[in-house]
Amino acid sequence: MQKSKLKSRLKRIILITLAAAMLYFVGFVTAAHFAGLQDTTERADVIIVLGSGLRKDGRPGPALARRTRHGADLWHEGIAPLILCTGGQSEYYPRTEAAACREILLGAGLPAGAILMEERSRSTEENATYSKRILDQKQLTHVVLVSDSYHMLRARWLFSKQGIQSFASPVTSGRIRDPRAYPFSLAREFIAFNWQLFKELFNIPWTHVRGI
């Protein structure tokens, strides 16, 4: 009898825990989705394009390509005189993400003098850290942050932790060609966001993990 009660209580605890976890997941995904719908673009000193993965041959992947083209469009609209390309070189890839970003910008008609380069970062957290150093050196304070909509919640949070208050210019989910990519990316953001919280809670010094 006692064992039966314990089993029943344990089942209830497990079900409640799973339900709470599911609610948390749904809540985060909803928040990330709606954060990505908020475009607060204003005139600024610099547009920061957040890096993303390359193809094995060094060509920009689809996320980096659409982010960079969006940044180029903003530059042509006169939103800012400069664009900062971010993203370092991952293992087994022939160049940095920032270099691929720069190539697209030059092809879109931007002059080389309008392009700044941050080629050390391997994560969004490092994007923010190394971008801050460049902004301070150049005395740039007003920033438009460009990334995919699903990424904007975490990106703006990490940039704000560096003291960088940014205007958001998200690339809309409608520009993602693969319909499976958006929900997958939101789920990945959930993992990355909570990894960042866990890392800070336990003072873990790693600033990048492959893939996030």
Among 94, 110, 101, residue whose Cα is nearest residue 63: 101
| CATH class of residue range 46-172+185-201 | alpha beta
* Residues 8-45 pLDDT 10s: 888 899 999 999 999 999 999 999 999 999 999 999 99
Q: What's residue 2's pLDDT?
A: 67
CA 110 to chain centre: 23
Percentage, residues of the chain above pLDDT 90: 87
Is residue 48 pLDDT above 80, yes or no?
Answer: yes
pTM: 0.93
pLDDT tens across 163-192, in order? 999 999 999 998 998 889 999 999 999 999
Q: What percent of the chain has pLDDT over 70?
A: 97
Exposed / middle / buried, residue 106 (Cβ in 10 Å: 0-12, 13-18, 19+): middle
Domain extents in the chain = 46-172+185-201
By the 8 A CB rule, do 96 and 58 touch?
no
Helix (H) or strand (E) segment spanning residue 82: strand 82-86
Cβ proximity of 148 and 67 under 8 Å: yes
Euclidean distance between CA atoms 159 and 150, whole angstroms: 16
Site of tokens 């050390």 = 120
